[in-house]
Structure 1
Amino acid sequence: MALLTAGLLLQADDWPRLGGVEGRGYSTETGVARTWPKDGPSMLWSVEVGTGFAGPAVYDGRVYLLDREADRADVLRCLALESGQELWRETTDAPGRLEYDGSRNVPTVTPDFVFTVGPFGHFRCYDRKTHAPRWSCHLVDDFKDPDIDHPEEPQTRAETLARTQLPRWGMTQAP
């Protein structure tokens, strides 16, 4: 993962989940560069991550990423936005291999919590400030969801947490 800048990124609004603040997939930021420097934007920092399709969530100067240690575990990583320094990580054992290995989901971040769903169905809530696990469930074992390889993001509205899931064909092929 690399963080690139054309000058204004560190002053940008939070992007606390897939689709941004409102979940609509666009930013209301103004003053964004319309052109790139000839050699591209300067790189602020980079960090090694595992294989996968997940993107980061950004909230209150922190970058949250659900990473995956191949065939073994889901790893929630919290990085400093300004430096990329890893501030903490929480690892969930999740052995197994999927057709397309790696993490798939963007964490959902609220003022108090970070929610993640791993590709094998581990749905977890962490305290955002202490990073301690608050609760967890397993979507296959606890809810009899037959679909592993979960392409979904936890969604929040006010005090409600909802689980949204794409149909299995949503990532790779037409219905």
Structure 2
Amino acid sequence: MVALGIVATATAFALADDWPQWRGPNRDGVWYETGIVSRFDGSQLEPVWRAKISGGYSGPTVAEGRVFVTDRITEPEEIERVHAFDAATGERLWTYSYSAPYVRVTYRTGPRASVTIADGRAYAFGTMGHLHCLDAATGKVLWKKIPGEDLDIDVPTWGCASAPLVEGDLLIVQIGAENGCITAFDRRTGEIEWQALDDPASYSAPIVIEQGGRRVLVCWTGERVVGLNPQTGELYWEYPFSHKRWIDPIISPVYDAATGRLFVSCFDDGAAMLQLTPDLNVRELWRRQGKDGHNTDAVHTLMGSPILEGDFIYAVDGYGQYRCLNAATGDRVWEDLTLTSLERWGTLHPVRHGDEVWMFNDMGELIITRLSPQGVEVLSRAKLLSPTRGQLSRGDGVTWSHPAFADGCVFNRNDEELICVSLRAGDE
């Protein structure tokens, strides 16, 4: 099961039914709540509440009765904002704003990285590299790092996007600083504790796993996949991963603790399966790369996190094809063309819930499925959110933000509103 692949951080993350960081409590895309509906009643999900926000790609997070999300406004000046809302009512509790003109950044809608919540603090990482620690209850600034003043950051083409990770007393960010692509801060004071790697930054959020009885920080930078000591930044192992056109790792590496396998995939440069060994090393099991985004081998995933479970991988390809692969070889087992749009960068965000996989696609639909080596079974499907932002040739718009599942509800956003829909059995 995916739930075995990533261990919880050393900090206790609020309550079991919170969603305090990107992809959930353990950053593994697993939702543990019970008492949830098994099917949708109708083709349109009706929100409990709606709250007005502006543009952004960042998914919401939920902790201790509050929903956190970031956005951007451009008039009368370019500002990024961090918001907190009451999870039960949608009432805006506070907003923190800061100046953030976008320079040499494409896809300018708004912030990418979800807010990370731990021990009453909210950690927000903006598109241009602004890093803030805010009081989660009030929005008061506890500490901040400003690019060009506190840190020398080389902002990637698509902007800073890696969600901050809390590990014990540290806040670890793929921040792209000079001589510190990966930087660890004292999460209470903001002081730098260590910096590692002189690589260009990617967009991938780091994870922490268990390997050989040790906690290992796994990061996918613009040049390689690495395993680091999370307390010191010491390099344990590395796997070079070159890019033929641009740096485009966006998903986090996906780990299966039962087999010690680590899977990575990106749009242009294909996929690789790595074997992590108890002696803190790594070896390649296979690497596959198609000719281009239209002619892919194995799977070329951009934004939708894969599922690695035992002998199989389930992942979305770059034009919306959902595929099952043999984990040992990368060979395709089956392909489904019905789960999301068959357009460039077609996206699905999967979340495991018991023996089901809930998927949010880039057309704004929430889909309940079961996955197996025999195929995908769609159990229920309904519209959650309307796309509001055209991207590339997608005149009908896309929804790329990852939903949060907490308090028996699903929370998500587009470029106009944040919504909450109850998924509790009996509320439908």
State the TM-score bracket (shorter-chain normalisation).
0.7 to 0.9
Which aligned pairs between 1:115-126 and structure 2 lie closer than 5 A?
115-126=123-134
Amino acid at match of 2:107: Y
More strand by share: 2
CA-based RMSD: 2.2
1:115-149 Cα distance to aligned partner (Å, 9 max, x none)? 00010110110112332101111345533221241
Counterpart check, 1:143 vs 2:187: no
Change (3 A) 1:28 1:140: farther
Counterpart check, 1:158 vs 2:168: yes
Equivalent in 16, 19, 26 of residue 15 of structure 1: 19
Q: Which residue of 1 aligns with 2:102?
A: 96
Q: Is the 8 A contact 2:111 2:161 kept in 1?
A: no
Equivalent in 14, 34, 38 of residue 38 of structure 2: 34
Q: Is the 8 A contact 2:132 2:145 kept in 1?
A: yes
Q: Is the 8 A contact 1:18 1:106 kept in 2?
A: yes
More helix by share: 1
Task: Quote the sequence identity (%).
Answer: 24
Q: Which residue of 2 aligns with 1:25?
A: 29
CA–CA separation in structure 1 for the residues paired with 2:81 and 2:123: 12
Gap runs ≥5 in structure 1: 1-11
Equivalent in 77, 81, 84 of residue 75 of structure 1: 81
CA–CA separation in structure 2 for the residues paired with 1:44 and 1:34: 19
TM-score between both structures, scaled by the size of structure 2: 0.36
SS in 2 for 1:153: coil
Amino acid at match of 1:156: V
Counterpart check, 1:105 vs 2:113: yes
Which structure 1 residue ranges, 4+ long, deviate > 6 Å from structure 2?
none
Of residues 22-31 and 116-125 in structure 1, the stretch that sits farther from structure 2 once superposed is 22-31
Structure of higher CA gyration radius: 2
SS in 2 for 1:152: coil
Number of residue-to-residue matches in the alignment: 165
Displacement after TM superposition at 1:103 (Å): 1.4
Amino acid at match of 2:268: A
SS in 1 for 2:47: strand
Equivalent in 71, 89, 92 of residue 86 of structure 1: 92
TM-score between both structures, scaled by the size of structure 1: 0.84
CA–CA separation in structure 2 for the residues paired with 1:129 and 1:46: 21
Of residues 164-173 and 90-99 in structure 1, the stretch that sits farther from structure 2 once superposed is 164-173
Q: Is the 8 A contact 1:121 1:140 kept in 2?
A: no
Amino acid at match of 1:45: W
Q: Which residue of 1 aligns with 2:141?
A: 133
CA–CA separation in structure 2 for the residues paired with 1:174 and 1:123: 29
